[in-house]
Amino acid sequence: MRLGETVTLPVTAVDSKQMLLRVIGKGNKERALPLTESVLEMLRAVWLTHRSKKWLFPSRRITTHLPYDTARAAFIKARDQCGFEATFRPHSLRHSFATHMLERGVDIRLIQILLGHSSIRSTEIYTHLSEPLREDLRRLLDETTDGLFEGRRPDHG
């Protein structure tokens, strides 16, 4: 999810019966993301710390959602404590997620839906050719070309 989508999540976005998280993304488009049991438990634990009737991530006043800048500052503080470079930003998590899903063999069209992209081209930008993907590609090319030239002599004529 984008940081802006996360901080504006209302409590009603969580559908624990269907195990979905309803997210309003760019262009006011809604998408339903699958919820895992562990993520649902984490969201419940977060909610128990404040019990806001409206927001999953409220501001200190509880009546408004967490400001974007506050969430970004918390991310930067955590990033710095972990020793990551300053180039690692909240949006980097979306790129990493997309790349890891692709490495696990998830269809790019499904990744497109999860990221909320209207165009597959946007998703392709996120899915960098990582070293595990390069290795998979090399293996596939090896399998495809293995024995291709066996028994053939170069034509010198």
pTM value is: 0.74
Cα torsion 105, 110, 112, 114: sign:
negative
Residue 154 lies in a domain: no
Q: Say whether 2 is catalytic.
A: yes
| 11 vs 101, higher pLDDT | 11
**Cα angle 125-80-49, degrees, rounded to a multiple of 5:** 95
CATH number at residue 68: 1.10.443.10
Q: Say whether 91 is catalytic.
A: yes
Annotated catalytic residue: which of 22, 72, 94, 95? 94
Cα 150 from chain centroid? 44
User: In the listed set 37, 56, 82, which residue is the last one of a domain according to the structure?
Assistant: 82
Q: Give the mean model confidence (pLDDT) for residues 112-128.
A: 85
Q: How confident is the model at residue 82 (pLDDT cuts 50, 70, 90)?
A: very high
How far apart, in whole angstroms, are the C-alpha atoms of residue 115 and residue 101?
A: 11
CA nearest neighbour of 90 among 103, 78, 82: 78
Q: Say whether 26 is catalytic.
A: yes
Q: Say whether 156 is catalytic.
A: no
**Cα angle 2-3-9, degrees, rounded to a multiple of 5:** 95
Annotated catalytic residue: which of 2, 22, 31, 72? 2
